[in-house]
Amino acid sequence: MDSFLIRGGTRLKGKIEISGSKNSALPIMAACLLGEGKTTLKGVPRLSDIDSMSKLIGELGCHVSRHEPPANIAEAGEPSLPALNGPLDIEVTDENMCEARYDIVKTMRASICVLGPLLAKRGKAIVSIPGGCAIGDRPVDLHVRGLQKLGAEFRTENGNIVGEVRGRLKGCRMYLGGAQGPTVLGTINVLCAAALAEGETVLVGAACEPEVVDCAELLIKMGAKIKGYGTPEIRIEGVEKLHGAEHRIIPDRIECGTFMIAAAMTNGELELKNCNLDHLIAVVDRLEEVGVKIERQNGTIFVSSNRRLNTVEMTTQPYPGFPTDLQAQLMGLLCLADGMSVITERIFPDRFLHVGELNRMGGRVRKEGPTAIIQGVKELQGASVMASDLRASAALVLAGLVAKGTTRIDRVYHIDRGYEKIEQKLVAVGASIERVKEK
């Protein structure tokens, strides 16, 4: 378990290239189980969660291989880190296996994304039930309900969801929302299954996140007939077969938002390359209200701040609202604002493990149910803190960058799950971060 030692107080200045989206790449890799022939994915980041998904679909009979980066890129001076990632080829070579084992599912909840593709293509799926996690209770009832409506039958057996389909799945009109609104991976699971179902499926209350759109675009390239993706009503006309395709994963909007907040916190000036600011409209809106300057030129964003930060009130919401995956990082920023801010977490009401750690660094944050009240302070101080989940850990890295003195963050494997080479990217723009390997 590695740790980070961060010496705070440096102003970030320079260019960072944003990687491909983890949350888009993971379900898209699972969707490749649906195809016949090779699918080539460009822009897949190198992350431990991607390794886990490669292992999982590998056990399910896929051949997964990464191309070496083109020689001309590797030789061209100092290429950016994401440019060094060669495309990933995925080809199904054996369709006999149908089980996602607990060992893999427990490390990565996105494993649930194989459920829909396996049922649609192989007629059977055994997926270990994902347990709770650091950000709260995370049920999969909506995934199961949606697939049941398409005709799959389910039972639970020894901690596994066992699903079977007699014949072919059948399209229907269904409502997919739950108590907390739409489900991102649930929408993708049902969308993938419906792509091979008989007849038309209409998903009402579907998630509109860019990751859903990215997966729908891959499926269309594979031969699926889908309309309305990116809206709450998706229409899918099932086809009998899907083939391999080539696809580039969208930029990681959460990584981009995290670096935007890093620039704001350190009074810095960052040029973020390979971004899609349209995916971050609510984030830009809130950051501008805080006083952050954001400009865009094609796929590049320029972010700067003069560190007089205004307070805001913000609620996390499904897309296009402010994403829960940037709530912790925004809280880190608001710890330094001029007065009191309020954050309400509507997607995962218990996603507040970072509160105690930010307070150890001198923050003044009080939690009341799904709401955090943040009293801005003049400065944060370095401390030993613990990474608890991916985004909470990112918030601690940002706090460490601006804190007085040294911050030690333990258990950074959480960060490695979702931020590609975060310390190299930050060091390149002036941060002082050292990875300490556990002996």
Q: Annotated catalytic sites, by residue?
A: 133
Checking DSSP bridges between strand 124-128 and strand 153-157, what pairing results, if any?
unpaired
Residue 23 near ligand EPU by CB under 6 A: yes
Distance, in Å, from the CA atom of 5 to the CA atom of 249, rounded to the nearest integer, reads 32
As measured in angstroms, the least distance from the Cβ of 141 to ligand EPU is 5
345 or 423: CB nearest ligand EPU: 345
Q: What distances in angstroms separate CA 417 from CA 31, 186, 377, 387, 388, one per listed residue?
A: 20, 21, 31, 12, 12
Residue 79 near ligand EPU by CB under 6 A: no
Provide the greatest CA pair distance for the chain.
65
In this chain, which stretch among 40-48, 67-75, 166-174, 177-185 interacts with ligand EPU, using CB under 6 A? 177-185
Distance, in Å, from the CA atom of 199 to the CA atom of 158, rounded to the nearest integer, reads 34
As measured in angstroms, the least distance from the Cβ of 232 to ligand EPU is 13
* Interface positions, 241-280, toward ligand EPU (CB under 6 A): none
16 near 427, Cβ under 8 Å? Answer: no
Question: Which of 258, 267, 305, 324 is in the footprint of ligand EPU by CB under 6 A?
Answer: 324
As measured in angstroms, the least distance from the Cβ of 105 to ligand EPU is 12
User: What CA dihedral angle connects 309, 388, 12 and 285, to 10 degrees?
Assistant: -40
Residue 160 near ligand EPU by CB under 6 A: no
Residue 185 near ligand EPU by CB under 6 A: yes
Q: What distances in angstroms separate CA 384 from CA 8, 394, 416, one per listed residue?
A: 13, 15, 19
Going by C-beta distance under 8 Å and a sequence separation of 6 or more, which residues neighbour residue 12?
262, 263, 266, 268, 269, 270, 401, 426, 429, 430, 431
As measured in angstroms, the least distance from the Cβ of 179 to ligand EPU is 6
68 or 141: CB nearest ligand EPU: 141
Question: Which of 32, 105, 184, 309 is in the footprint of ligand EPU by CB under 6 A?
Answer: 184
* Interface positions, 381-420, toward ligand EPU (CB under 6 A): 390-391, 418
Question: Which of 183, 201, 266, 305 is in the footprint of ligand EPU by CB under 6 A?
Answer: 183
Supply the angle between the helices 327-334 and 281-290 in degrees, to the nearest 10: 10
Distance, in Å, from the CA atom of 357 to the CA atom of 363, rounded to the nearest integer, reads 9
Residue 19 near ligand EPU by CB under 6 A: no
As measured in angstroms, the least distance from the Cβ of 26 to ligand EPU is 5
Dihedral sign, Cα of residue 407, residue 410, residue 416, residue 421: positive
By CB under 6 A, name the binding residues for ligand EPU. 23, 26, 110, 135, 138-143, 178, 180, 183-186, 207, 211, 323-325, 347-348, 390-391, 418
